Amino acid sequence: MAEDIADGFELDARLAGDCLILGKLDCSLLLLMNNALVPWFILVPVTQATEIYQMPEEQQAQLLEEINLLSDFINSEFSIEKLNVAAIGNIVKQLHLHIVGRHSSDFCWPGVVWGAEQSEPYSDAEIKRIKESLKIRLKGRIKMN
């Protein structure tokens, strides 16, 4: 997949350490936070921009489409009540968007998930299930890692 990423683009070390790289969409890398307590995906647009408004309009539109695709996937594949979509970037400066499925019974409801200490890594079987579901639901839109 490295050959598909733009020159000069490198995934932030903290994101690389905390997440599983699932694949690449048209505009973004698709990551899964390795915490099975909540369905927590991250889109990392392949850009040097650090804010959405700094991206070309076409890339902004692609990113919105990817947010919508992933939001629909999370809503369909996981038992959730609410979707949280956020681009914060106070610690990791690289532009990235959190898309997190939430439920009133999840481990830190109603608080935020970032910075929470409780964590449970995904099993290999669960990662495989998520990847297979993504391939089906995103119908060729994702190049899997």
Q: Taking the chain (145 residues) in consecutive chunks of 10 residues, what is each chunk's mean pLDDT?
A: 61 96 96 97 96 96 97 96 93 95 95 90 97 92 87
pLDDT of residue 7: 62
pLDDT of residue 91: 85
Would you say the pTM of this structure is higher than 0.75? yes
Of 2, 1, 123, 133, give the one whose Cα is nearest residue 69.
133
81: domain range?
2-144
Q: Is 106 within 8 Å of 40 (Cβ atoms)?
A: no
Structural domains counted in the chain: 1
pLDDT of residue 89: 82
CATH number of the domain that 96 lies in? 3.30.428.10
Q: Which residues are bridge partners to 33 per DSSP?
A: 19
pLDDT of residue 5: 58
